[in-house]
Amino acid sequence: MEKISLERDFIKKLENQEAQYWSDYYLCCKSPLQDSAGVSITVINGAVCCAVATTDRLAFNRTIGIGLDYEISDEQLKEIIKFYERAGVNRFMVQVSPAAFPEKNKELFLKNGFVRHNQWAKSYKKLVDKTEIPESELVIEDLNLSNVEEFDNVIKEAFEFDGGTHLFISRTYKRPGWKHYLARDNGKAIAAASLFTCGKFASLAICGTIPEARGKGAQSLLIARRLNDAFKAGCEIAVVETSEDLPDKPSQSYRNILKAGFETAYLRPNYVYNF
């Protein structure tokens, strides 16, 4: 997988964009869901720490944006560990971008009890024109109050989210910068996606298809629709995070965004802490 050399300031903007949209899920999660799911969020020396006690999914128990504005330190890592311990999670991960000098800080993480887990790919695309919409019999519709439950169910089935976390995504409905979509096949909701725009940047926040409907082009269709909406909103850069594409663990999402013209910005190592 090719790594593209980017300026540190640009990497920081990509990381901050992700931290902003991901934290919205937690900030919009009100009671009773907030209490039943055990939702916690805080910022420790510029690092956004998100926790959900009812799930072991690392995506929901992770720290984003560490080392962007402050050097990573023993004290910071110990404070982060204490936050997640109080939150009641079994494990969490810290994602370290190139702007946080992951190789320099590797021993610091290991010394504090973290283990190197895997890597996520951060990819981006410059928006210079409209994106061609693939021909398809699928129908894309915007989220509204009448189809929120269908949206939530698709997210749950597509990602197998547990602990009530499938409900987080739609909580950002009607929030500034957010758009949500459903794809239908002969009237049945088969895929769901979200878009978050802020200034020049647009995040393809989530996109999933229920298992039995995969291979029908829903992801490609939803990628194109979101790129067009981002372009119309005046965004200049689209960004997305996916799992790394590996021979023994292929990532269809990563392949879909490459097909849509994205470039790999960098691979981001994930350090996991187990209680």
Please, what is the average pLDDT of the chain?
Answer: 96
Residue 4 has a pLDDT of 46
Q: Rounded to whole angstroms, how far apart are CA atoms 192 and 209?
A: 7
Residue 5 has a pLDDT of 61
The number of beta carbons lying within 10 Å of the beta carbon of residue 264 is 19
- CA angle 267/175/9 to nearest 5° reads 35
Q: Rounded to whole angstroms, how far apart are CA atoms 125 and 134?
A: 18
SS3 44: strand
Residue 64 has a pLDDT of 99
Q: Rounded to whole angstroms, how far apart are CA atoms 255 and 124?
A: 13
Residue 36 has a pLDDT of 95
- Residue 35 carries which DSSP code? H
Q: What is the mean pLDDT of residues 200-213?
A: 97
36-70 tens-digit pLDDT: 999 999 999 999 999 999 999 999 999 999 999 99
96-110 tens-digit pLDDT: 999 999 999 999 999
Q: For residues 163 and 156, is the Cβ–Cβ distance under 8 A?
A: no
Q: What is the mean pLDDT of residues 70-85?
A: 98
Q: What is the mean pLDDT of residues 154-182?
A: 97
Q: Rounded to whole angstroms, how far apart are CA atoms 253 and 168?
A: 21
254-265 tens-digit pLDDT: 999 999 999 999
pLDDT band per the 50, 70, 90 thresholds, residue 2: very low
Q: Rounded to whole angstroms, how far apart are CA atoms 169 and 137?
A: 26
CATH superfamily of 139-267: Gcn5-related N-acetyltransferase (GNAT) (3.40.630.30)
- pTM, 2 dp: 0.94
Ranges of each domain in the chain:
8-121+270-274, 139-267
229-269 tens-digit pLDDT: 999 999 999 999 999 999 999 999 999 999 999 999 999 99
Q: Which residues of 169-198 are buried (b: 16+ CB within 10 A; e: fewer)?
A: bbbbbeeebbbbbbbbbeeebbbbbbbbbe
